Amino acid sequence: MAQDAAPAQPQAPAAAATAAPANPAALAGDAARGHTLTYTCQGCHGITGYKNAYPSYK
């Protein structure tokens, strides 16, 4: 019988990826575009009492 291949090496734990501080430059974005996108989503997902598809942003 053929032997199974050696198991793959485990990946680094997720905690190691989050241990480094976030790069502030990576967090930069276009606030005006974000406002427009959020406004669009709120059209359906932010109506009080309206039963819409998940998620609800109230």
Q: Mean of the per-residue pLDDT values for the chain?
A: 70
* Whole-number pLDDT of residue 52: 66
25 vs 2, 22, 30, 36, CA distance in Å? Answer: 52, 9, 12, 22
* Whole-number pLDDT of residue 43: 81
Confidence of residue 15 (pLDDT cuts 50, 70, 90): low
**Helices and strands in the chain: count of H runs, count of E runs:** 2, 0
| pTM tops 0.75, yes or no | no
Confidence of residue 42 (pLDDT cuts 50, 70, 90): confident
Which of 47, 46, 27, 48 has its CA nearest to residue 38? Answer: 46
35 vs 18, 30, 40, 41, CA distance in Å? Answer: 27, 9, 9, 10
